[in-house]
Structure 1
Amino acid sequence: MDSNTAALGRRERMLLAAVAALLALGLFLLRGGLSPAAPLEKLARQSLEPAVALSNGRPSVVEFYADWCEACQAMAPAMEKVESQHHDQLDVVLLNVDNPRWQPEVDRYDVNGIPQLEFFDASGTRVGRAVGARSQSELEALTEALVAGTPLPAMAGVAETSVLPQVEATTMAGPRSHS
């Protein structure tokens, strides 16, 4: 093999290596590079277990979400800001509705739309619910009321919850009874 052929092969290999490096760099940047995790992912990873949050003496916001939910993703930066501003006064818990681990909670809180926020006072009692995305100002107003222990502000899509009184079971005549 002559020196021209060897030089040509070396140049081709170097060009191929450079193209491969550029493609790898492009893929790396396309997938987020070294940027921190998306707010939704970050909140979910640092989230307390629901049982811990509801028993530690601080009010809590439990958000039911899904990774694919555009409203959840859009609300995540505002929720992250609320969590960082109140991290020592309030617990923010994220539960992914697509994770079978949280199915008992999805059933218990009758999740029928996402994002769904459940609000709990410092004693772990549910005091309200909001279905649908919330703005930064709405989240701030809701969390400030939780932290202060005051009723949740009135706004569309937000409802207070109440505990129904226990009714003693009584024996009732069946529909075919003629007594």
Structure 2
Amino acid sequence: MTLPNHAAEEGSPLGRRERMILAALAAALALLLFGLRGGLQPQAPLEQLARRSPELPFALASGRPTIVEFYADWCEACRSMAPAMAALESEHRGDLNVVLLNVDNPRWSPEIDRYSVNGIPQLELFDRGGRSIGRSLGARSRPELATIMTALIEETPLPLLAGVGSLSPLTGGEALAAGQAAPAQTGPRSHG
């Protein structure tokens, strides 16, 4: 003798209704866990900045002051500075360019050499004419970044902050001829 379908379902360990309830419960728990773990988070600020970064030659020829940040994805100081840099870049969009160059990308080796990058984050500061006018070494707070950006936009002297300064007109051989020691060159990933 055969039992009707609903009787067969009732005799099995899990009937159709129970399986549907369990499937719905599992889906709800999966969504909850997904949400608690951050869901579909937008890109981190460092990645956002890098993606919307203009090409360096375009930025330097744009007639706007430019900040070039040498960074690496693994650099904690770069990551901690990124939210402030991203927010300020958004506030000053149209008045100032922010260009990010990853020191781990061989494409930027000539720029790493040209700007003597030996630690990160390193900011190279350019005036409206694309001339290099200063440098900032190390992580910066939002107020410090804001002060640097304001000085560039308003064409006023760079702020007096530790690790920020105008560039000397003396370079390489000229420095040696002037009796100054040439700086030791190390790679940006050496932190030494």
Q: Structure 1-normalised TM-score? A: 0.80
Q: 1:118 to 1:166 in 2, by over 3 A?
A: closer
2:55 and 2:147 map into 1 onto residues whose CA distance is 24
Aligned residues of 2:73 and 2:79 also touching (Cα < 8 A): yes
The 1-side partners of 2:74 and 2:109 are apart by: 17
How big is the shift at 1:60?
0.2
User: Are 1:119 and 2:103 counterparts?
Assistant: no
Paired residues for 1:1-179 under 5 Å: 2-5=8-11, 8=14, 10=16, 11-12=18-19, 14-16=21-23, 18-19=25-26, 22-23=29-30, 25-27=32-34, 29-30=36-37, 32-164=38-170
Alpha-carbon distance, 1:162 to partner: 2.7
CA contact (8 A) 2:53 2:100 kept: yes
CA contact (8 A) 2:69 2:123 kept: yes
Counterparts in 2 of 1:101 and 1:18: CA distance versus 1, 3 Å = farther
Give how far 1:27 is off: 3.5
Q: Secondary structure at the match of 1:78?
A: helix
| Structure 1 position 73, deviation (Å) | 1.5
In percent, how many aligned pairs have the same letter? Answer: 57
What's the offset of the Cα at 1:78? 1.3
Please report how far the alpha carbon of residue 4 of structure 1 lies from its aligned counterpart in structure 2 after TM superposition: 2.2
- Report the RMSD for the aligned CA atoms in angstroms: 2.6
Structure 2 length-normalised TM: 0.75
Q: How many residues align?
A: 167
CA–CA distance in structure 1, aligned partners of residues 31 and 108 of structure 2? 37
Distance 2:150 2:124 in 1: 15
